[in-house]
Amino acid sequence: MAGSFGNGAAKPPDPNRIIQEAFDSLGRRFPSGAFGPIAGAIAFALWMASGLYQVGPSEVGVVLRFGAVTQTTPPGLHWHLPWPIERVYKPAVTRVYKDEIGFRTIAVGPPARYRDVTEEARMLTADGNIVELDFIIQYRIKDPVNFLFQVRDPQETLRDSAESAMREVVGSTTIDEALTEGRLEIQTRAQALLQEILDSYKTGLQITTVKLQDVTPPGPVQDAFKDVINAEQDRERAINEAQGFANDIVPKARGTAAQLVNEAQGYAASVVKEAEGAAERFELVSDAYSKAPDVTRKRMYIETLEAILPGIDKFIIKGGTANDVLPLLELGPGSSRREVAE
């Protein structure tokens, strides 16, 4: 019991030796001089001095008198009644201890190397799936008296309780939660539950952290899980591509639409303006015409014929004979049109 928590106090003197010395003195029939009383005084002083002990900066001293706890002492130099009346234990209370579940650190590194302990890590989830979950626990001694005298093996108790607590929490979580956004909640709940268990055992331990490390689907199904993530990426990619297509064609279509409307507006303006121009022109001409209709009419007619007749083939045929003559005229294939003026 003493060895595991360190006992740095000076070793008490061996009682058998003292007794032996006493008998030796008696055997010498009380030799002359003050040797006996001096030796006795020295032995007594040494015995009393054996009660001096030092409590380290991270420790607390727990003093037992005849096996019962009487006081705890802070870091520094102290004295207790010497053995066998009192003795002291000095657990390190400010130190933070760490335990790993689901894996073990083989080499601290860098690079750190780990070994999986699958049977610790593998657990069932609420939806009947299996997840592999590694976590660490950090803890310290909050009650040195309970730590020393309430549980025989606090460390093993902690490990067992931690595994139990974590499985209970994961057992009420779905695999998707455990793998993604549920991690924080698992940590919090597991820590609370673990603390509750440890307190009920009075281990005197305080959990400072429960931290999930790797949370992964079991090896044989990891590929399938990765593919789901890929599929999600594929989905986003398909949507983005389509969005890109839409972003390309819709603005172009708006441009086309504007173009069509603008063209129509241009056309409309040109048609109306042309009509206005033509109307105005007609009005001007007809005003002039109405002043001298006959002459103007003739002039216009003759001018027109003058303009059109020069360049073309003309046959002047007496009325009524046209039908007889026409077939004889070898009208060239280039002549696509025949006009008969009255």
Partner 1 sequence: MKFLSSALFSLFVVVVAAYSLSCFQVSEATQAVVLQFGKPVKTIREPGLYFKLPFVQNVVYFEKRLLEYDAAPRELITRDKQQLVVDNFSRWRIVDPLKFYQTVTTINGAQSRIDDIIYSNLREVVGRTSLTEVVSGDRVALLRGVTTGSNLKAEAYGVEVVDVRIKRADLPAKNEQNVFNRMRTEREQQAKKFRAEGEEEARKIRSQAEKERQVLVAEANREAQVLRGGAEAEATGIYAAAYNRDPEFYNFMRTLEAYRRTISDRTTLVLDPDTEFFSLLESSK
- Selected from 48, 49, 52, 250, the binder of partner 1 by CB under 8 A is 250
**Of 180 and 286, which has the nearer Cβ to partner 1?**
286
Strands (E) in 183-270, as ranges, are 205-216
Name the pairing type of β-strands 97-101 and 130-141: antiparallel
* Beta carbons within 10 angstroms of residue 162's beta carbon: 25
Residue span 153-192 as binding mask against partner 1, x where in contact by CB under 8 A, dash where not:
x--xx--xx-xx--xx--xx--x-----------------
Cα torsion angle, 141, 142, 146, 151, sign: negative
Asked if 296 contacts 289 with a C-beta cutoff of 8 angstroms, the reply is: yes
User: Using CB under 8 A, which residues numbered 109 to 138 contact partner 1?
Assistant: 119-120, 122-126, 128-130
Residue 108 in the binding site for partner 1 (CB under 8 A): no
Of the candidates 204, 207, 203, the one whose C-alpha atom is nearest the C-alpha of residue 189 is 207
Q: What would the two tokens of residue 114 be?
A: 């780990």
Q: Is 327 in the site for partner 1 (CB under 8 A)?
A: no
Minimum separation from the CB atom of position 206 to partner 1 (A): 17
158 within 8 A of 198, measured Cβ to Cβ: yes
Site for partner 1 contains 322 (CB under 8 A): yes
Compute CA distances 192 → 81, 168, 208, whole Å.
41, 12, 10
Q: Which is nearer to partner 1, 106 or 269 (CB)?
A: 269
What dihedral angle (degrees, nearest 10) is formed by the CA atoms of 251, 257, 260, 263?
Answer: -70
Residue 6 sits in the site that holds partner 1 (CB under 8 A): no
- Of the candidate spans 74-82, 135-143, 204-212, 293-301, the one that interacts with partner 1 by CB under 8 A turns out to be 293-301
Residue 323 lies near partner 1 (rule: CB under 8 A): no
The alpha carbon of 231 is separated from its chain's Cα centroid by a whole number of angstroms, namely 18
Binding-residue pattern over the window 198 to 227 for partner 1, x denoting contact by CB under 8 A: --xxx--------------xx-xx--xx-x
Indicate the residue among 111 and 119 with the shorter CB distance to partner 1.
119
**Binding status of residue 49 toward partner 1 by CB under 8 A:** no
Residue 291 within binding range of partner 1, rule CB under 8 A: no
